[in-house]
Amino acid sequence: MLRKIVRVILGLIGAGIGYSLSYLPFINKLIASAGIARYSIVGLLVLVTGFAGFMLAPWLIEVTLRMVAFFESTLLHTPMQDLIGGAVGLIIGLVIAILLGAPMKNIPLVGPYIPIVFSILFGYLGLSVGIKKKEELTGLLTMWKTGSKQGRVGGKSGYKVLDTNVIIDGRISDICRTGFLDGTLVIPRFVLEELQHIADSSDLLRRNKGRRGLDILNQMRKEEQGIKIEIRDFDGVDNKKDVDYRLIQVCKRLGCPVVTNDYNLNKVAELVGVRVLNINDLANAVKPLFLPGEEISKVDVIRDGKEAGQGVAYLEDGTMIVIEGGKRHIGQRINVIVTSVLQTSAGRMIFAKPKMSFKNSSSSRRYHEVKVIG
């Protein structure tokens, strides 16, 4: 029904075009010379153009729908940053064209065409520059929207770039859920491609890790965690370099920190002046502190250590406990006394002794002291 209405409207538009053609100088002169028959000629012209519009209506409707579908598909697949950057650049370019072209309208012959040329030239330049500088534009918009407080917390732009390893690790989802991160988490397109490549690996372990990372991303995007997640393309980043290098370049461009648990990326980023949010450091910061002399109850000694006689146990949070003389307690659950704690970026390591041997050595030491005094 709607197509029929549109077809009738296009037929009427065609008839109107035919009537308007009758006022063209050469056609009007021809009609005027026809005398009384001029009304018939005008009517015939209106009927011909109206019929042509009516017959061409289905083709025009189909072409219009295809063009609309094409532009709609293009816009839907274009990142929002590109649309915003391109629109801002185009507006600025057209404003500059109007300001420069207005004084030149009165130039003889070419004056009326100069604003058109300027509009095309500066409009295209503004659109191109706006798309290429979309990161800076959206960064400025974010800073203006969120204010200086968020800028101090998350960097100049409020963005935080995620590394592939931290996505696979999975703890970033829990951290976001607790509300300890704010701003926008940016996932570069090349990180997503690396994650997909890992998910397609022939190695079972790597494939499972990649799929787990993709599942975590989907879960984070679906859940309302109070934080925005953006997957973005970055033009001008050297695709021939490795992912870590490109991540650092992206962080420099956005003026934001990188979220990772990769020890090597952590060190390289610090060397080039990029702020690092290492979730291993966060995990270590919230682990319970143990001081030398404190007792840790009921740890399971599961294997021997690197040095002779050592045993190894783990706390529930994954902290390794190296137990001196613990090899003979493998497979047992014992209490230990902390002797020292070693803290590194890779994690925290606790050195301890079995409580019974610690007691025996202490008792023996006290006994000998009394014997000497006596």
301-312 pLDDT, tens digit per residue, is 998 888 888 999
Within a 10 A sphere around the Cβ of 358, how many other Cβ atoms?
Answer: 20
State the amino acid at position 126 in one-letter form. G
Residues β-bridged to residue 231: 187
Burial grade of 271 (CB within 10 A; 0-12, 13-18, 19 or more): exposed
Give the whole-angstrom CA distance, residue 336 versus residue 324: 10
DSSP annotation of 78 reads S
pLDDT at 217 over 50: yes
pLDDT given for residue 364 in this prediction? 47
246-253 mean pLDDT: 87
Would you tell me how many other CB atoms lie within 10 Å of the CB of residue 91? Answer: 14
Under a CB-based contact definition with an 8 Å cutoff, are residues 301 and 287 in contact? Answer: no
pLDDT tens sequence across 254-289 = 888 999 888 888 888 888 888 999 888 887 777 777
Cβ atoms 219, 173 nearer than 8 A? yes
The contacts found for 216-221 with CB under 8 angstroms, 24 or more apart, are 216/167, 216/168, 216/170, 216/172, 216/173, 217/167, 217/187, 217/192, 219/173, 220/172, 220/173, 220/176, 220/185
Taking a C-beta distance cutoff of 8 angstroms, is the pair 185, 173 a contact?
A: no
Distances (CA, A) of 79 to 73, 93, 258: 12, 21, 22
Across 332-358, average pLDDT: 81
Same structural domain, 156 and 197: yes
- Per-residue pLDDT at 228: 82
Tell whether 140 is covered by a domain: no
DSSP bridge partners of 44: none
Residue 224's pLDDT is 61
How far apart CA 345 and CA 280 sit, in angstroms, is: 7
Please tell me whether residues 362 and 281 are part of one structural domain: no
> Residue 280's domain is classified under what CATH number?
3.40.50.1010
- Residues 314, 349: Cα–Cα separation, whole Å: 10
What backbone torsions phi and psi does residue 23 show, to the nearest 5 degrees? -95, 0
Same domain, 184 and 262: yes
The helix/strand/coil state of 24 is coil
pLDDT-above-90 percentage for the chain = 4
Q: Which of 226, 256, 285 is the last residue of a domain?
A: 285
CA distance 122 to 128: 10
Q: Which residue has the higher pLDDT, 353 or 155?
A: 353
Asked whether residue 281 falls in the same domain as residue 303, the answer is no
The predicted model gives 122-136 an average pLDDT of: 80
What CATH number does residue 321 fall under?
2.40.50
Q: What is the pLDDT of residues 56-75, one digit of tens each?
A: 888 888 888 888 888 788 77
Domain contains 19: yes
Write down which residue in 255, 285, 315 finishes a domain.
285
* Predicted local distance difference test score (pLDDT) of residue 344: 66
* 156 within some domain: yes
Number of independent structural domains in the chain:
3
| pLDDT at 349 > cutoff 60 | yes
Give the Cα separation of 231 and 217 in Å (integer): 10
What are the structure tokens assigned to 362, written together? 């202490």
Task: Return the pLDDT at 133.
Answer: 73
pLDDT at 372 over 50: no
Encode pLDDT of 144-164 as tens digits: 554 444 444 444 457 889 998
Residue 134 CA to chain centroid, in angstroms? 13
> Is residue 141 domain-resident?
no
Supply the range of the domain harboring residue 315: 295-373
Most confidently predicted of 46-50, 82-86, 218-222, 303-307 = 303-307
Query: pLDDT value at position 311?
Result: 92
Identify whether residues 340 and 320 lie together within a single domain: yes
User: Looking at the structure, do residues 126 and 94 belong to the same domain, yes or no?
Assistant: yes
Residue 303 sits in the same domain as residue 269: no
Contact of 195 with 166, CB cutoff 8 Å: no
Greater model confidence, 66 or 19? 66
In a domain, 280, yes or no: yes
Q: How far is residue 242's CA from residue 190's CA, in Å, rounded to a whole number?
A: 10
Domain boundary residue, one of 264, 285, 306 = 285
H helices within the chain, ranges in order? 2-21, 25-32, 38-77, 80-101, 114-132, 134-154, 164-169, 171-178, 189-199, 204-222, 243-254, 263-271, 279-285, 355-373
Tell whether 75 is covered by a domain: yes
What's the pLDDT at 373? 43
Whether residue 94 has pLDDT greater than 80: yes
pLDDT at 367: 43
The answer to whether position 181 is within a domain reads yes
User: Helix or strand or coil: residue 286?
Assistant: coil
Q: Are residues 69 and 111 in the same domain?
A: yes
- Residue given tokens 């300001």 in the structure block: 99
Q: Does residue 77 lie within any of the structural domains?
A: yes
111 with 208, same domain?
Answer: no
Residue that wins the pLDDT comparison between 38 and 199: 199
**Cβ atoms within 10 A of the Cβ of 82, count?**
19
Q: Are residues 161 and 122 in the same domain?
A: no
86, 17: one domain: yes
Distance from C-alpha of 153 to C-alpha of 178, rounded to nearest angstrom: 17
How confident is the model at residue 312, as a pLDDT?
92
Q: Does 300 lie in the same domain as 281?
A: no
